[in-house]
Amino acid sequence: MTVQIAIAPSAASRTAEQPGTQAPAPQPRHKSRFWSIRGELSRRTAWLLTGAGLSLPFVLWWLWTALGLADPMFMPSPGAVLERIGRWWTGEGLLTDIGISVWRVMAGFGASALIALPLGLYIGTYRPVQAFLEPLTDFIRYMPAVAFIPLVMLWVGIDEGSKVLIIFIGTFFQMVLMVAEDVRRVPMAQIEAAQTMGANRGEIVKLVILPSAKPALLDTLRITCGWAWTYLVVAELVAANSGLGYAILKAQRYMHTDKIFAGILLIGLIGLFTDQAFRWLHRRAFPWMRK
Amino acid sequence: MSDSKIRVRQVGKTFVSDQREVQALDAIDLDIQANEFVTFVGASGCGKSTLLRIIAGLETQSRGEILLDGKAIDGPGVDRAMVFQHYSLYPWLTVMQNIKFCRQLKVIGDTVRNDGDVETAAGRADALLNLMGLTRFTDAYPSQLSGGMQQRVAIARALMPKPATLLMDEPFGALDAQTREVMHDLIRHVHKLEKSTILFVTHDVEEAIYLGSRIVLMAPRPGRIDSIYEVPLPAQRNQDMKLAPEFTALKREILGRIRETSGMQTDLDQLARLTAVAG
């Protein structure tokens, strides 16, 4: 032992801290793997952290109000908000409000997807269509959808059509560009392989580009669906007499802060639920993406 | 020589990038016979991949003409299958579905129906699966396979429509040395079995000699054919031949020529001086 150490002075200095150990034991292993870059996390720890992250603001909120640090007029307690949701459900037509809001989002988002998917596919596949439409779409995209509201009200009025149209304007132009980008990301080698097997243009679009881009397209729909909810509230804040956004606005008029809280939380919950549904669909529809 | 499988006459290709014209290919003349196995080597930028892609119909030449069975090439076709270096498999299809992909296409469907040999076609997919040693992976997705296995699927898929010509663009470039050796013997076997004409682009000189019956050495700036070598090996090859004197002699000659034409030489004296200063 000692002879070996004498021969290799650098090794000796390294092991000097642990007399008695023989080989240079892999000590750095103890250096927290928790913070390793892009490291792995056990399922249990992941769930625990998710739970902690989600409940943290609620705990803080509860503490803040329970300790009487806030004026309940401006900052209702979690209990009060929960109670308000109950009353909203039984006496104030919560289900109707949710129903009408979900319908508006689905109509605006659905119409947007219906046109954006084929249009984006064409922009991403054919250069002439891209040159013709993409700069225009990019230009309109930068016009704030909210600024269209006065115009939409003048043109379409204040009935259902206007809310759906605002959601459409808010999501459509972004969606087209994202779809086009998804389609452009299909590897050229996949397309060229089909070409050298004799596939014609239609077959390449149908059998290669579409199935190849599908997972990315579903992700695009998931992300733009979130935006649709944002524009729903904008539309309902301005021109509606029903729906979650309208309820929030009306609550402000009567200083019902608990109902404002309730409305915001409910929209968040619906969004979270939709997002998870999209993710579930993604896992179900594309088993080949799993390693 | 009018019976050549592929006739390349005065083919040139000019790319325009950043308002600068780049001569990728200049005045290429080449005749390839049916059932020949021709490999292409050369320093990077010599245009070997570009030439292959023009023959595949994926790109068009700026000058000259290419005749395939006496007819000018007009776009890609079933008669010329191509195997790419990677990312060409369809990850949403299983191994078997990838191999059978071409059968959904109109061109293939028509010929199969006309021949009335749907069963033969199905049998062919099985036979190719067998030939490539993929029978255990029939229902696996590409992401579950190793790089070597994925390239076997790509080759089987390319062979499925019985192409007269097989174009391979560095198909084994991303594989490790051992896997590559196995693939070499496999592709030689395919060549013998399918009687196809194979054009094979590589940056690996040893691979070029072991596989080819003829080696086309290309040089860059502008991309051109520098020289053509006949490979002095029998049709039946084995790995031991890589150590034979005629093999190593040819390898040395070709490597030297590539070095001369690449325009990228290491100045050993300069390096030595730098090392001396640093030391």
Domain ranges of chain A: 79-284
CA distance B102 to chain A (A): 6
What is the set of domains in chain B, with CATH numbers?
6-79+164-278 (3.40.50.300), 89-162 (no CATH)
Q: Does A86 touch chain B (CB under 8 A)?
A: no
Contact A286, A213 (CB under 8 A): no
Residue for token pair 């051109």? B224
Q: How distant, in Å, are the alpha carbons of A141, B170, B206, B251 from that of B180?
A: 50, 11, 11, 18
Confidence of residue A1 (pLDDT cuts 50, 70, 90): very low
Q: Which of A190, A207, A211 sits opposite B87 (nearest CB)?
A: A190
The residue among B53, B79, B86, B92 with the most chain A CBs within 10 A of its CB, best to mutate, is B92
Any alpha helices (H) in B12-117, and if so which ranges?
A: 48-56, 95-99, 106-115
CATH 1.10.3720.10 assigned to A79-284: yes
Give the neighbor-by-neighbor strand order of the sheet with B20-32.
B20-32, B6-17, B63-68, B71-72
In DSSP terms, B225 is beta-bridged to B218
pLDDT single digits (tens) A27-82: 555 566 788 888 888 899 999 999 999 999 999 999 999 998 888 888 999 999 99
Confidence of residue B245 (pLDDT cuts 50, 70, 90): very high
Question: At residue B202, does pLDDT exceed 70?
Answer: yes
- B54: helix, strand or coil: helix
A 10 A CB-CB count for B125 gives: 19
- Residues in chain B closer than 8 A to A190 (CB atoms): 87-90
**In the predicted model, what is the mean pLDDT of residues B148-171?**
92
Contact A196 B157 (CB under 8 A): no
**In the predicted model, what is the mean pLDDT of residues A149-170?**
89
Contact A197 B81 (CB under 8 A): yes
For residue A232, give the nearest of A257, A259, A263, A258 by alpha carbon: A263
Contact A111, A169 (CB under 8 A): no
| Pairs of residues, one from chain A and one from chain B, whose beta carbons lie less than 8 Å apart | 89
Contact B161 A197 (CB under 8 A): yes
The residue among A186, A196, A208, A218 with the most chain B CBs within 10 A of its CB, best to mutate, is A196
A 10 A CB-CB count for A256 gives: 18
Q: Does A284 touch chain B (CB under 8 A)?
A: no
pTM: 0.83
* pLDDT of A285: 93
Closest-CA residue of A relative to B94 is A288
Closest-CA residue of B relative to A201 is B105
* pLDDT of B1: 46
- B96: helix, strand or coil: helix
